[in-house]
Amino acid sequence: SAAEKAGYASFMLKEIAEQPKAVADTLLGRIDGSGTLSLDEVRIPPGVLREVDKVVVVACGTAFHAGLIAKYAIEHWTRIPCEVELASEFRYRDPILDQQTLVVAISQSGETMDTLMALRHAREQGARVLAICNTNGSTIPRESDAVLYTHAGPEVAVASTKAFLTQLVACYLVALYLGQVRGTKYGDEIRDVVRDLSGISGAVEQVLGTMDPVRELARSLAHKNTVLFLGRHVGHPVALEGALKLKELAYMHAEGFAAGELKHGPIALIEEDLPVVVVVPSPRGRSVLHDKIVSNIQEIRARGARTIVIAEEGDEAVAPYADHLVRVPATPTLLQPLVATVPLQVFACELATARGNEVDQPRNLAKSVTVE
């Protein structure tokens, strides 16, 4: 009903707007100002976590994209090898699992059958399963060894927005916590990032306040057939998520690519006026990633693409090659998906609306898929 939408035209718009609060709620009571994490609710003893020698993340859809980002964070801060796999593929390929494997199952609903079957398979092999879930008491957390709830509140729109952002937060918390428990050489960095996380809700709020040009751009592209998305490092899963949102909501052909793969094929798709969204990593920190993506933007622009560039505030190097520039606040490299995804959600929602689509209930899709 209209009342439930609290004045928004759709649940999706309401849920996009709720993201600063959702992110803050996921962090509440789990981090403190001194840079310490407490995840007592993760009832896997620290001794067991110290013995983990492999992490496997399983999920579907948008939650899978959160898992792809988790891999960068987990491997960096914990130095434990991490695999990420679509739940529907995982158990049918005879994966190698034992008591030292930690399986992280990510699911908004906690009822996705593919993910549930993957976690059952993992537990049968003796692996420990940690669920990252938004729905209290749902099947996936009930069948897991431990659960970290995302506290995004109920998500009604089929296309996931606030659940995704809070899944990312939970994934970072797991990565940082494992790093803290195992005492890697990144101790100081872990403390700094925990502090940075406390500013993330404000950064998301800031992005939401600057979305009018993105909406205008989306409306101007409503007649297009294809949009491509490019990113590197954690920006690659962000590109995949941006493309998924357009497929789900606008029923458009959209694809996400790793920017470094352009030259190995996708660049052949570039033609005059094709919209290409590029997620640009911070020029601070790993500046090599930034330099490489700037040359990717130049390459596609030289071939006529219309470049829509998502870049950090103060990143002036990209400006000359951006037909449309969308600014996001500066964050540590690994946290950038929390701000860079938001314009892509707004873009897809507005574009779908301009095409006359029902954004909360896209055709052929279900919020939670309880069959394999």
The site for ligand G6P (CB under 6 A) is made up of 60-63, 107-109, 112, 115, 158-160, 365, 367-369
What CA–CA distances, in Å, run from 104 to 39, 84, 186?
A: 15, 9, 22
Nearer to ligand G6P, 37 or 119 (CB): 119
Closest CB to ligand G6P belongs to which residue? 61
Helix/strand/coil for 130: strand
Sheet holding 82-86, edge to edge: 82-86, 54-59, 101-107, 128-133, 146-149
CB of 59 to ligand G6P, least distance (A): 6
Alpha helices in 3-107 (DSSP H): 11-17, 19-27, 46-51, 61-78, 87-90
- CB-wise, 6 or 365, nearer to ligand G6P? 365
Minimum distance from residue 170 beta carbon to ligand G6P (Å): 12
Closest separation between CB of residue 133 and ligand G6P, Å?
Answer: 8
**For residues 182 and 367, which CB has a smaller minimum distance to ligand G6P in the complex?**
367
**What is the Rg, in whole angstroms, of the alpha carbon atoms belonging to the chain?**
20
Catalytic residues: 367
Q: Which residues fall within 8 angstroms of residue 165, CB to CB, at 6 or more apart?
A: 19, 22, 23, 152, 204, 338, 341, 342
Nearer to ligand G6P, 167 or 331 (CB): 167
Tell me if 129 sits within 8 A of 90, measured CB to CB. Answer: no
Least separation, in Å, of the C-beta of 259 and ligand G6P?
A: 24
| Beta carbon nearer to ligand G6P, 48 or 156 | 156
- For residues 86 and 198, what is the distance between their CA atoms, to the nearest angstrom? 30
Minimum distance from residue 54 beta carbon to ligand G6P (Å): 22
Q: Strands, DSSP E only, in 172-314?
A: 226-231, 253-258, 275-279, 306-312
